[in-house]
Amino acid sequence: MRYFLELSYNGKNYHGWQVQPNVISVQEKINEGLTKLLRTSINVMGAGRTDAGVHASQMYAHFDIESAIDTILILDRLNSFLPEDIVIKNLFEVDEKSHTRFHAISRSYEYRIFIGRNPFLFDTTWQIYRNKLDVVKMNEAAKLLLIHSDFKCFSKTADVNTYICDVTFAAWKQNNNLLTFHISANRFLRNMVRAIVGTLIDVGMSKISIEDFKKIMDSRSRSEAGFSVPARGLFLTHVEYPKSILKNE
């Protein structure tokens, strides 16, 4: 039988989502918690792979088990088996063919910048102490992402089958000192959002023009794009599935 988990986590203390040798990952902690609770070996599959230090306000994972479980009871107990910076918000049965990664139809991220100094937001924002950003120009450049398809110039991975992504939303929004970049797409490449944000910052600081931003995307060269902003400001915020998969939620 297959079950979906809906969860959130603060990525500060983890070397990303995926299990890796000699480092602590979110996936590893959930595997350990479920294995202890259900008394059988459990390996969860996530909707994506966030990098070291990246957070998720919404992530999905699935696991298989031979016998049916009491989802309400297990959900209530599971969080006590996990670190406080990982929280399971929902647990529900799905069709055994449903897959958290392959059946996701879109994903959304936010990158959060705080203009100034705030010690309480240091772990979840990138803080810029002096605001020299032209947000209007940054939004003009961001619009180009919606009509572009090949994002190789923003990718850290060199061995993927395709660099084609369908970006459906990309915009900066400012609320007082908090500046947030919102982006949604059917898929994302490794390091893609952080590289996009870094390059848009270059636009906002007038280091490059909007036309330069377009040329960078056309170049398909990572060396032409801007720097990757720190991981601590990046959040996976939403994973969307067909309604038929979440009908039992």
Coil, strand or helix at 203:
helix
Q: Where are the beta strands (DSSP E) in 95-166?
A: 106-115, 126-128
d(CA 53, CA 110): 14
Amino acid (one-letter) located at 35: T
Q: Please name which of 121, 142, 114 lies closest in space to residue 204, comparing C-alpha atoms.
A: 142
% helix, strand, coil for the chain, step of 5: 30, 25, 45
Among candidates 188, 187, 221, 224, which has minimal Cα distance to 105? 187
Active site residue ranges: 51
User: How big is the chain, counted in residues?
Assistant: 249
Residue written as tokens 């931003």?
213
Helix residue ranges, H only, 153-223: 192-204, 210-219
State residue 58 phi and psi, 5-degree precision: -145, 125
Which token pair is 55?
A: 């957070």
CA angle 179, 185, 189 (to 5 degrees): 90
